[in-house]
Amino acid sequence: MIRVQEIGKAYRSGRRQVEALDEVSCTVQQGETLAVVGKSGSGKTTLLNCIGGLERPDSGRIACLGENIHELSRRALSMFQREHLGFVFQFGNLLSYLTVHENIEFPLALNRVPRRERDLRVSALLERIGLGNSARALPGELSGGEVQRISFARAIAHRPQILLADEPTASLDSQTAHDLVQLMLDVVRDQAASLIVTTHDPVVIELTDSIMHLRDGKVVEESRTTVL
C-alpha cells in the first residue's frame, strides 16, 4: 500500500520559487491503480519522485508497504527501492552502454536472482512487450516507444509491489499503449501491487481505479472510475 499524507515540496532557484506539491494526499491499496493527471508543471513527476524516495518532501509523510520511506537510512532506502519498487521514468533512463537484455536484467542481478532464472524472465518479458528480437540491441538503436516499453519491462522484472510509472505511454500509438496498460494491470493483479501512473492518455485513465487531478501542486479533483 502507498499512503501519502499532506506532502509539500517547494523548489527555489534564484528568485524563482515553485510550490511543486502543496498538501497532497492519496492512498493506493495493494491491487489498486491511481492515475495522476494535470498540466505540464503541475507536480506529477515530483509526486512520483517523492513516493519513490528519489526526492525528499519538505513536509508530510509517505508510507510504502508500511515503511516511512523518508525516515529510513540511505542504505535501508536503497534496499527497499531495489526490492520493492519499480520506477518507469518519463524519459526512459536506460543505460546506453548495456544491451536491452542487460538493462532488463539489471534489477534482477541486484536482487541476486540466479542467472538462469534471470535469462528466462528477461526473455519472457521481451516476448510480452513484442520486442523478442531486440535483446542484443543497444538503447540508442531503438525508437522512443521501444525504449519506453523496455523501461517498463525493467521496472517490473524484479516483481515489485510498488509500481510508479511517469507517462509510460507518451510515445506509443494507441494499440501499443493499450497493450502496455494491460501488462501494467496484469502486474498489479498478479502481484497485488499498487500502481501510480501519471498520464495524459485517455487509454490509461479509462483503465485505472481512481484519478487524481493536480493543478499547481494541489489536488483539485479526485474520483473513482470503477465501482467498488
Ligand X SMILES: Nc1ncnc2c1ncn2[C@@H]1O[C@H](COP(=O)(O)OP(=O)(O)OP(=O)(O)O)[C@@H](O)[C@H]1O
Q: Which residues bind Mg ion (CB under 5 A)?
A: 44-45
In terms of CB distance, is 31 or 41 closer to ligand X? 41
20 binds, among Mg ion, ligand X, none (CB under 5 to 8 A by kind): ligand X
In terms of CB distance, is 30 or 90 closer to Mg ion? 90
121 binds, among Mg ion, ligand X, none (CB under 5 to 8 A by kind): none
Please tell me the distance from the alpha carbon of residue 114 to that of residue 94, in angstroms, as a whole number: 22
In the complex, minimum distance from the CB of residue 18 to ligand X, in angstroms, rounded to a whole number: 4
In the complex, minimum distance from the CB of residue 183 to Mg ion, in angstroms, rounded to a whole number: 21
In the complex, minimum distance from the CB of residue 92 to ligand X, in angstroms, rounded to a whole number: 14
18 binds, among Mg ion, ligand X, none (CB under 5 to 8 A by kind): ligand X
Question: What is the grid cell recorded at 165?
Answer: 510509472
In terms of CB distance, is 161 or 210 closer to ligand X? 210
In terms of CB distance, is 17 or 175 closer to ligand X? 17
- Contact yes or no for 45/90 (Cβ under 8 A): yes
Please tell me the distance from the alpha carbon of residue 197 to that of residue 184, in angstroms, as a whole number: 10
- Contact yes or no for 136/129 (Cβ under 8 A): no
Residue labelled with grid coordinates 546506453: 96
Please tell me the distance from the alpha carbon of residue 32 to that of residue 189, in angstroms, as a whole number: 8
17 binds, among Mg ion, ligand X, none (CB under 5 to 8 A by kind): none
In terms of CB distance, is 18 or 110 closer to ligand X? 18
In the complex, minimum distance from the CB of residue 107 to ligand X, in angstroms, rounded to a whole number: 23
Cα 142 to Cα 9, 19, 60, 149, distances in angstroms: 35, 36, 40, 11
Q: How many helices (H) and strands (E) does the chain have?
A: 7, 10
5 binds, among Mg ion, ligand X, none (CB under 5 to 8 A by kind): none
Burial of 17 (0-12, 13-18, 19+ CB in 10 A): exposed
Which parts of this chain interact with ligand X (CB under 6 A)? 11, 13, 18, 20, 38, 40-46, 90
